[in-house]
Amino acid sequence: MKPEGVGQASWEAALSAFEQAIGSERVFTSDEDIALYRDAYSPMWGEADERLISAAVAPTSTEEVQAIVRTANQFGIPIYPISTGKNLGYGGSAPNLSGSVVVDLKDMRSIIEVDDERHFAIVEPGVSYFDLFDYIQERDLKCWIDCPDPGWGSLVGNALEHGVGHTWYTYRDHFASHCGMEVVLPNGDIVRTGMGALPGSKTWSDFRYGFGPDMDGIFGQGNFGIVTKMGFHLMPQPDAFISKKVRVPRRRDIIPLVKITNEFEYGGILGMPIYESPLTQLQAAGDEELGALMDSPEVWHNDSLDLLAASRELPFWECTLQFYGPREGIYANFDFVKDRILAEIPDAEFVDLEELQFPLSQEEQASVRHKVAVGIPNLNIFSVSARSRTNPNPGDGHLLFSPVIPRTGTDLLEAQQIFGEALRGSPLASLYTPFTPPFTWLHRCFALACGFPISRSDPSINAASRDAMETVIRIGAENGYGEYRTPPLFQDLVSSTYSYNNHALRRLTETVKDAVDPNGIIAAGRNGIWPKHLRERRQ
Amino acid sequence: MLAFTAIPFYNLKTEGLAVEVAAPDAFIVDTRLSPIRSELSNIVEISGDIVEISGDDVAPYLYRRLVPAWREGGFAVSGVTGCDALFCIEQAARAFGLRTIRSTPLGTSNLRGAGEGVPGSLSTQSQELELEIVSWLIAPNAA
């Protein structure tokens, strides 16, 4: 395959130029090599519309990236930068535009600086969370990473995707905790943002804004350049960590519970609260009594599920409360939070989970209950997703729907019903129920996320998931719930839902795109931003 | 501790499909399969530089041994693991130009354990894994 609209002579000349710039061993065109960049969670796996690349190039330096970009401009080659290509559920390493050349930044792996007095790191895009974690551990530095689950992705790639993690407050908003970038622009020029624009700056990784407009935002979920360095603020290693679980008996107890946890998280006392419901296990096990109750549309309004939970001696909701800081202080904080919860939910119950004091030995790290809560990257989540009695049809992966809803219990209950009723009667109706828990990755909102199954052997599963995804995207937007992130196949649709004032935001981004990348070579179509010559492709 | 309740394997040798495992640089055996190791040995030749790791989290071995070896070039690795562990290893291997040359399902076993799920994950907590077991070989692409 070669990129559409590129003549054979131009294509061969471009490949030759890539090889001249970075070495032939770093230019990949064989079918076997190209297959390595397929999205393992593609909802179009094996179908005609699966997004596939034409080639890949793997530079090792900013200068090589510049050479690639200049070549791409010269010959009109669409390029698609990836960091470590682990964006599973959101497109992986596959581009929006088939035939693009992937610019694989995995070998730009320098950890440029880590400072555990000012608590920052500067890294290149090929640095994974595992890499930085090991770097910090080997040097006994007193700072933490915040990583997603699984932790094999790139700090730069994840942050640019607006990815999220699991530790304390803003550290888990990875783009918010970045500070400064170096970017190769579509014309091959290099820009450093924030204080990095001042030659010899001593605060590039301390003060994000620099002077004048903050341009960093356009590179997050954007296609205006290739980021080659990025700074991150790191959480200081705390003295201790404790986690407790609170159990509440009724569905509507979530309302006061969320109100209290919000107050304490935003006030700096509580870490990321994690909401769960034991009823999801009953559902996954095919509980007939639960199934019968769920068949009624009245299930959203009556107390039938409360009664069921009580009869099984199960709480309706559980919430893991996590505290970081000096040991004596966090126990005092927990007591305060507990008293507040009991004042509003007198029959709430509390369970001890874990206490840790830092630093941890390697053996202690291995036995941590929830590793990402204390900044330890791991791949445990893939075994959780394996087939089990409570997960009988795990699929080969998932398509992530990630709507943002207000962080209140009332809004949660309403959104569950909206999405649940939207899918009623479909094979995926079970994904939204009165006990679907919200995710708190976004520290000021809920993400009422779910994973629609995908299959690498059964296209009908993928078709059903695609249909469901389109349904919930539209229904969500109609109700004021936009997605914060979505796979390439749905990026045009999601982009179209952000339509205020005749799609003014999209018109603005297209104006910037046309100015910064007039040949439209970088990541065409990413998040609905198409270059001028391809704009009619928008779905 | 894991207690094992087996359901019958598809015996590849019986069916005349004896599995040959090429001599890899390392052979990974998933420790979750320890209760059925002897039965696995009847189906798959487990030999060479054997490494036992927990398939629940392959990350330590993957990032401390395999990735550095793959960066140097080459390093074929074979194994008998849960399919979840294979997925992690093969996805990581792709970045270094390696791919799964052979993947042979060996059957499914019930493994009961005291494991918890990952809090706040998209998947429900699992007290009992029905592990799909696979024999596999990951090697560099042909030059």
CA distance A184 to A204: 17
Average pLDDT, chain A: 94
Note the pLDDT of residue B2. Answer: 31
Structure tokens at B131: 């592990």
- Between CA A305 and CA A515 the distance in angstroms is 56
Tell if the CB–CB gap between A386 and B126 is shorter than 8 Å. yes
Amino acid at position A253, single letter: D
The hierarchical CATH code for the domain A111-236 is: 3.30.465.10
CA distance A9 to chain B (A): 25
Question: What is the chain B residue with the closest CA to A365?
Answer: B60
What's the confidence (pLDDT) of residue A61? 98
Q: Look at B129 and A383 and tell me if their CB atoms are within 8 Å.
A: yes
Q: At what angle do helices A8-22 and A62-75 cross, to 10 degrees?
A: 170
- Range 428-457 of A in CB contact (< 8 A) with B: 437, 439-440, 449-451
Mark yes or no for CB contact A383/B132 under 8 Å.
Answer: no
Q: Please, which pLDDT band fits residue A389 given cuts at 50, 70 and 90?
A: low
Q: Do B120 and A377 touch (CB under 8 A)?
A: no
Cα dihedral A72, A73, A78, A81, rounded to 10, equals 70
Residues A449 and A430: their CA atoms lie apart, in Å, by 13
Judge if the upstream peptide bond of residue A359 is cis by omega within 30 degrees of 0: yes
How far is the C-alpha of A104 from the C-alpha of A88, rounded, in Å?
16
- The rounded distance, in Å, linking the Cα atoms of A255 and A177 is 29
Question: Is residue A506 pLDDT above 90, yes or no?
Answer: yes
Q: Is the pLDDT of residue B118 over 60?
A: no
Question: Is the CATH number 3.40.50.300 carried by domain A489-537?
Answer: no
The confidence score (pLDDT) of residue B13 equals 43
Q: CA angle B41-B43-B47, nearest 5°?
A: 45
3-state SS string for A180-236: EEEEECCCCCEEECHHHHCCCCCCCCCCCCCCCCCHHHHHCCCCCCEEEEEEEECEE
Note whether residue B114 is domain-resident: no
CA distance A375 to A237: 10
Kindly state the tokens that stand for B141.
């692409």
CB atoms < 10 A from the CB of A199, how many?
A: 6
Percent of chain A whose predicted confidence (pLDDT) is above 70: 98
* Predicted pLDDT of residue A426: 87
What is the pLDDT at residue A7? 95
Residue B83 to residue A382: CA distance in whole angstroms: 9
pTM of the model: 0.92
Q: Is A484 a catalytic residue?
A: yes
As a whole number, mean pLDDT of residues A22-32 equals 93
d(CA A463, CA A301): 32
User: What is the distance between the alpha carbons of residues A476 and A474, in angstroms, rounded to a whole number?
Assistant: 5
Residue B16: inside a domain, yes or no? yes
The CATH number fitting domain A8-104, selected from 1.10.1060.10, 3.30.43.10, 3.30.70.580, 3.40.630.30: 3.30.43.10
Q: What is the CATH number of the domain that holds B57?
A: 3.40.190
Catalytic hit among A324, A432, A484, A526: A484
* Number of domains forming the structure of chain B: 1
pLDDT the model gives residue A120 = 98
Interchain contact A30–B (C-beta under 8 A): yes
Q: Is the pLDDT of residue B127 over 70?
A: no
Question: Cα–Cα distance between B31 and B51 in angstroms, integer?
Answer: 9
pLDDT tens figures, A322-351: 999 999 999 999 999 999 999 999 999 999
Find the CB nearest A276 among B64, B119, B126.
B119
> Residue A427 carries which side chain, given as an amino acid letter?
P
**Low-confidence winner among A53-62, A294-303, A380-389, A454-463 (lowest mean pLDDT):** A380-389
Instruction: Kindly state whether B5 is in contact with chain A, defined as any CB-CB distance less than 8 angstroms.
Output: no
Question: Among the residues of A267-408, which ranges form H helices?
Answer: 279-284, 288-294, 304-311, 327-344, 362-366, 381-384
What does the block give as tokens for A43? 């909802």
- Which is it for strands B26-30 and B77-82: parallel, antiparallel or unpaired? parallel
Q: How many helices and strands (H and E) does chain A possess?
A: 16, 19
In this prediction, residue A185 carries a pLDDT of 98
How far is the C-alpha of A456 from the C-alpha of A21, rounded, in Å? 37
Q: B97 by DSSP, 3-state: which?
A: coil
Name the residue ranges covered by the structural domains of chain A.
8-104, 111-236, 395-485, 489-537
Catalytic residue from among A26, A70, A251, A485: A485
Inform me whether the pLDDT recorded for A376 exceeds 90: yes
Could you give the ipTM of this predicted complex? 0.83
Please tell me the predicted confidence (pLDDT) of residue B11: 41
**Domain that residue B96 falls in:** 11-109+133-140
Listed range (A214-223, A436-445, B46-55, B107-116) with the worst mean pLDDT: B107-116
Two tokens at A389? Answer: 């009695």
Q: Which residue has the higher pLDDT, B117 or A133?
A: A133
pLDDT at B21: 44
* Interface contact A506, partner B, CB < 8 A: no
**What long-range pairs does A358-363 form, CB within 8 A, spacing at least 24?**
A358/A237, A358/A238, A358/A239, A358/A240, A358/A241, A359/A140, A359/A237
What tens digit of pLDDT does each residue of A512-525 get?
999 999 999 999 99
Give the model confidence (pLDDT) of A399-443 as tens digits.
889 999 999 999 999 999 999 999 998 888 889 999 999 999 998
**Residues of chain B numbered 11-70 and touching chain A (CB < 8 Å):** 55-60, 62-64
A386 contacts: CB under 8 Å, gap ≥ 6: A394, B82, B83, B84, B126, B129, B130, B131, B132
For residue B18, what pLDDT is reported? 43
A86/B91 Cα distance (integer angstroms):
8
Range B17-33 average pLDDT: 73
What pLDDT, on a 0 to 100 scale, did the predictor assign at position A393? 65
Nearest CB to A377 within list B56, B59, B97: B59
Contacting residues of A for B62, CB less than 8 Å apart = 379
Q: Which CATH class is domain A395-485?
A: alpha beta
Region A62-74: mean pLDDT is 98
Helices in A288-373 by DSSP H: which ranges? Answer: 288-294, 304-311, 327-344, 362-366
pLDDT of res. A537 = 78
